[in-house]
A and B are shown apart, each in its own frame.
Chain A
Amino acid sequence: AQSVSQHNHHVILSEAASLELGCNYSYGGTVNLFWYVQYPGQHLQLLLKYFSGDPLVKGIKGFEAEFIKSKFSFNLRKPSVQWSDTAEYFCAVSHYNTDKLIFGTGTRLQVFP
């Protein structure tokens, strides 16, 4: 069965620090990959997605993610975080021909001014 692992459960950074959140999945077939953000008290928002093509994907708010097929990874990065990036971040995976999203456990990011 598909599963998604986010090993960083809680990350604390100062503003302007660089961010990398890990995401690994277990599935041998072709997958679609997503990162969502959930700000406190709000619903999920899509940051970026990968379906095919360039493995380096750029999303909104300065985020990007790189798909490394050999490592089954889709890590999220941002070169310089802001206090407003404080939120919960979820990685999600679906098989390429379904819409069934499986979510990772989430990473809580706290950014201090």
Chain B
Amino acid sequence: GAVVSQHPSWVICKSGTSVKIECRSLDFQATTMFWYRQFPKQSLMLMATSNEGSKATYEQGVEKDKFLINHASLTLSTLTVTSAHPEDSSFYICRPTASSPLHFGNGTRLTVT
């Protein structure tokens, strides 16, 4: 069964609104969470790395005030896209880690109209 639950799987929102994406590790405690973004026909780009109980580390070019990451517990991390714009439309994927490369979330397809 799935060991990573990412919700929602898809969401459509209006420009200017905020969207929260949840990622849960079901069978293990994830001290670290990686958040990726994948634009159509492109590769996965790492956005940020979060550690439970501390601030996330963002990759160069990723706006920390726009993509808010909360990793309050060992089983849950959230990514909030604030004031979303059409250019934020993408596929967002989480990867909680306990030294395993296998477990990605199923992704969230965000469409901003």
Interface residues of A (CB under 8 A from B): 32, 34, 43-44, 46, 49, 90, 92, 94, 99-106, 108
Q: Shortest Cβ distance from A105 into chain B, in angstroms?
A: 5
Given A43-B93, A44-B93, check contact A100 B104 (CB 8 Å). no
Q: Could you pull out 13 A-B pairs where Cβ atoms are within 8 angstroms?
A: A43-B93, A43-B104, A43-B107, A46-B101, A90-B44, A92-B101, A101-B34, A101-B46, A105-B42, A105-B43, A106-B42, A106-B43, A108-B41
Closest residue of chain A to B57, judged by CB? A100
A94 to B44, CA, bound (A): 14
Closest residue of chain B to A33, judged by CB? B101
Closest residue of chain B to A32, judged by CB? B101
A32 to B97, CA, bound (A): 15
Number of interface residues of B (CB under 8 A): 21
Extra 10 A-B pairs, beta carbons < 8 Å, given A100-B34, A104-B43: A32-B101, A34-B101, A43-B106, A90-B44, A92-B101, A101-B46, A103-B36, A103-B43, A103-B45, A105-B43
Taken residue by residue from 87 to 106, chain B's Cβ proximity to chain A (1 for < 8 Å, 0 otherwise) reads as 00000010101011110111
Instruction: Give the residues in chain B near A32, CB-CB below 8 Å.
Output: 101
Q: Do residues B93 and A99 form an inter-chain contact, with CB atoms below 8 A?
A: no
Closest residue of chain B to A94, judged by CB? B101
- 4 smallest beta-carbon distances between A and B, as pairs: A99-B97, A103-B44, A105-B43, A106-B43
